[in-house]
Structure 1
Amino acid sequence: MNNLTLLDHLTSDRYLTQLQHHLNERQLLDENRNLSLSESTEQDFLELFFLEKVFPQDKQLSPHTVKAYRSDAKTLLTFLTDHSLSFRDIGFPEVKAYNNYIKEQYAAKTAIRKLEFFRRLLDFGYETQYYKAHLSTWITKPISKKGHYIIEETRHGETQTRVQIRELSQKEAEYLISFFPKVVKAKWNREQLEKRNLLIGYLLYTTGLRANELLSLNWGSFRYNRQGHLFLDVIGKGKKPRTIPIKEETKELLFTYRTCLGESTEINMEDTSPLFFTLYNRKEIGVNKKRLTYPTLYKMVKEAVYLAGKNINVTPHWFRHTFVTLLLENDVPLAVVKDWAGHSDISTTNIYLERVNQDHAYAHLNKLDLFT
């Protein structure tokens, strides 16, 4: 089995489960009962790396993350194959060669991710004695602009790379959302689709949900607190739970949407049926509900952008950046914004605050009386 074929098996849940059961049959422990791959095959090394470090059984990964890991592994395997190298051949020259190749071939953020995958593999090899040297120390990652930016190519005659911020103004966001219902072309369930699309726009804009978080919502994701306010419980990135308050305008749209579907508006936290599901070409609503997919959401946003005549680069994630920035512009405490956005570290939220403070620079400057 070659490594590229092995990769197909390694990204299969069934294969990894079977592998776990067979580990005890392999003689891969040293005298201290520690995992030792010093004499192991390349296949053993790859299988155990994926099992222990990439797809551990106690960690549930999103399809997007799995796809990214698979891409990173394929890039490395292809590079080694093209240069007639095995994993045992990797040393200082090979680390530097792959490092330079990735930095030349990929944009900064993608290069950082691929080199991080490579670093984890090398560290696992060192920890298990597959490699005798700590090779990952020679990896140097490119510098990437953190936060909500698109890095564009430097244009001809310009010496500095142009940076475009991936967010909308409040006016732009509201205008764009008004086009979400207008992309509906279906005859069946037209009213329901229009109300669904408008609610999607409002939830993206007023909660800062990631696309996969939005699509994973159930009717049971909503609940009232003791004061009678509506909240949304979300399982976010890294399976971290968080709670977001729901604006009154969004609440009204939510109940209007449910009523239009003929569904109950009584909050039921035990209801695991999808909030958003496909409705096209179906006379009956609520039969075998099929959860809305990201390609459908992405297409809807792109069609709304086209109809509105706005920036063609806009994606669902732009509304998240817009939400966070608007919170900070309206003096919502940094710690609260961090919790609502589901940022793992407050330094991520600080990136937005730096931008907001920069935008307010002239307001501060004009308070100074520099000429008397």
Structure 2
Amino acid sequence: MNYLTLLQNMNGEQYLTHLQENLKARHLLDENRNLTLENSTEQDFLELFFLEELFPQDKRLSVHTVKAYRSDAKTLLTFLTDYSLSFRDLGFPEVKAYNQFINEKYAAKSAIRKLEFFRRLLDFGYETQFYKAHLSTWISKPLSKKGHHIIEETRHEEAQTRVQVRELNQREAEFLISFFPKIVRATRNREQLEKRNLLIGYLLYTTGLRASELLSLNWGSFRYNRKGFLFADVIGKGNKPRSIPIREETKEILFSFRKSMDDSVEINMQDTSPLFFALYNKNEPLENKKRLTYPALYKIVKEAVQLAGKNLSVTPHWFRHTFVTLLLENDVPLAVVKDWAGHSDISTTNIYLERINQDNSYLHLNKVNLF
């Protein structure tokens, strides 16, 4: 079987819909009418894993999650193809070999994700009798440093590393944002693009939105609460909705951007037009707006950083880390920050607080009379 060809076929929604209908005619039920793949083909196994485990009908996945699943599947399928292995061939030696391959080739975070995909596939196989043994027991994931750090080598000949925090201080963030509108070189729609870029900078910095959340904003995502304050409603990781307050400075830039496009500043929660748009053709009218993509957002940030002459490692996500840290440094309650940031677990938010407390440890030390 050509696994990679099968994976390409699975990429389309039309294929999955057809598969759902087609499965009804397959004989994959045991005497208790439970799903069994004991005697199934490998194609049945792989298709059902995608359909039931990864892409169930009642679960809406983000574009990034779908992309990650397909990347992880491709890694596994390429490994099997390279070593002339089938899914039926998988046992203790093959599981350990793939585990070692992943740990050696990928950084800890990527390795953990790819091995988690592998674990889910093996568990699905065990639960459906495709595998007789619980093979996922033999998977060993690498340890990953929690938090928002990047690792830099200190010396080529040593494994010793130095930790650099992926965030900005308040002054750096404000300085960088001032360059967002300055990178616009186009003459057509120049004002609109400058205001768009400035708004992007302000929203990244003052809301802590993930890049995917920022790009999915519509004009209808904004609303006033009962007290008259402006909020943005977003759908975060795991399709979890949350509401984020919009600062007055950001609100003014938002309305200024809308006015520059001759759009109404009246809040309309039914408006599904993209807040951030891209003009692919310099002669294209403003009416033909297309939603901004992540590569375009990434480019805006990178060009602004370069023009400002700052750390070239900065990405859109640095502003999110900056936002969370600044909230906690200004004594916003941990639970409130967790909700605003959309963290699934408060322990994630607490990582920021632990580092802040570490940074401030000298203040406590100076209070002690040692001499």
TM-score by length of 2: 0.97
Structure 2 match to 1:281 = 282
Q: Which amino acid aligns with 1:121?
A: L
Does residue 271 (structure 1) correspond to residue 271 (structure 2)? The answer is: yes
- State the secondary structure of the residue aligned to 2:223: strand
- State the secondary structure of the residue aligned to 2:234: strand
Structure 2 match to 1:348 = 348
- State the secondary structure of the residue aligned to 1:117: helix
Task: List per-residue Cα deviations over 1:202-229 (Å, max 9, x = no partner).
Answer: 0000000011111111111111111111
- CA RMSD, 1 decimal: 1.2
Q: Which amino acid aligns with 2:278?
A: T
Task: List per-residue Cα deviations over 1:64-95 (Å, max 9, x = no partner).
Answer: 22121111111111111111211111111111
Does residue 136 (structure 1) correspond to residue 99 (structure 2)? The answer is: no
- State the secondary structure of the residue aligned to 2:291: coil
Structure 2 match to 1:332 = 332
Shift of 1:157: 4.6
Mapping of residues 20-99 of structure 1, within 5 Å: 20-99=20-99
- Counterpart contact for 1:219–1:273, Cα < 8 Å: yes
- Counterpart contact for 2:153–2:160, Cα < 8 Å: no
Does residue 255 (structure 1) correspond to residue 255 (structure 2)? The answer is: yes
Shift of 1:158: 4.0
Shift of 1:176: 0.3
Task: Give distance in 2, aligned partners of 1:272 and 1:109.
Answer: 35
Q: Which amino acid aligns with 1:281?
A: K
Shift of 1:124: 0.2
Task: Give distance in 2, aligned partners of 1:19 and 1:224.
Answer: 44
Q: Which amino acid aligns with 1:96?
A: K
- Counterpart contact for 1:189–1:283, Cα < 8 Å: no
Shift of 1:63: 2.0
- Unaligned ranges ≥5, structure 2: none
Task: Give distance in 1, aligned partners of 2:256 and 2:129.
Answer: 61
- State the secondary structure of the residue aligned to 2:335: helix
Structure 1 match to 2:163 = 163
- State the secondary structure of the residue aligned to 2:101: helix
Task: Give distance in 1, aligned partners of 2:242 and 2:41.
Answer: 44
Mapping of residues 106-125 of structure 1, within 5 Å: 106-125=106-125
Shift of 1:159: 4.5
Task: Give distance in 2, aligned partners of 1:80 and 1:159.
Answer: 31
Task: Give distance in 2, aligned partners of 1:138 and 1:86.
Answer: 18
Task: List per-residue Cα deviations over 1:17-49 (Å, max 9, x = no partner).
Answer: 100001111111111111100111110100000
Mapping of residues 4-15 of structure 1, within 5 Å: 4-15=4-15
TM-score by length of 1: 0.97
- Distance change >3 Å, CA 162–CA 45, structure 1 → 2: same
Q: Which amino acid aligns with 1:268?
A: N
- Distance change >3 Å, CA 357–CA 264, structure 1 → 2: same
Task: List per-residue Cα deviations over 1:97-151 (Å, max 9, x = no partner).
Answer: 1111110111000000000000000000000000001010110100011121112
Structure 1 match to 2:101 = 101
Percent identity reads: 79
Task: List per-residue Cα deviations over 1:281-339 (Å, max 9, x = no partner).
Answer: 24742x12211111111111100000001111111111001000100010100000000
Q: Which amino acid aligns with 2:237?
A: K
- State the secondary structure of the residue aligned to 1:152: strand
- Counterpart contact for 1:234–1:241, Cα < 8 Å: yes
Task: List per-residue Cα deviations over 1:40-65 (Å, max 9, x = no partner).
Answer: 11101000000011111111222222
Q: Which amino acid aligns with 2:118?
A: F
Shift of 1:355: 0.9
- Counterpart contact for 1:219–1:274, Cα < 8 Å: yes
- State the secondary structure of the residue aligned to 1:104: helix
- State the secondary structure of the residue aligned to 1:46: helix
- Distance change >3 Å, CA 368–CA 102, structure 1 → 2: same
- State the secondary structure of the residue aligned to 1:146: coil
Q: Which amino acid aligns with 2:322?
A: T
- Unaligned ranges ≥5, structure 1: none
User: How many residues get paired?
Assistant: 370
Structure 2 match to 1:245 = 245
- Counterpart contact for 1:189–1:282, Cα < 8 Å: no
- Counterpart contact for 1:180–1:201, Cα < 8 Å: yes
- Distance change >3 Å, CA 121–CA 195, structure 1 → 2: same
- Distance change >3 Å, CA 83–CA 332, structure 1 → 2: same
Structure 1 match to 2:197 = 197
Task: Give distance in 2, aligned partners of 1:273 and 1:242.
Answer: 20
Q: Which amino acid aligns with 1:117?
A: F
Greater Cα offset, 66-75 or 174-183: 66-75
- State the secondary structure of the residue aligned to 1:231: strand
- Counterpart contact for 1:188–1:283, Cα < 8 Å: no
Structure 2 match to 1:290 = 290
Task: Give distance in 1, aligned partners of 2:54 and 2:155.
Answer: 39
Task: List per-residue Cα deviations over 1:172-210 (Å, max 9, x = no partner).
Answer: 100000000000000011111111110110000000001
- State the secondary structure of the residue aligned to 1:162: strand
- State the secondary structure of the residue aligned to 1:370: coil
- State the secondary structure of the residue aligned to 2:150: strand
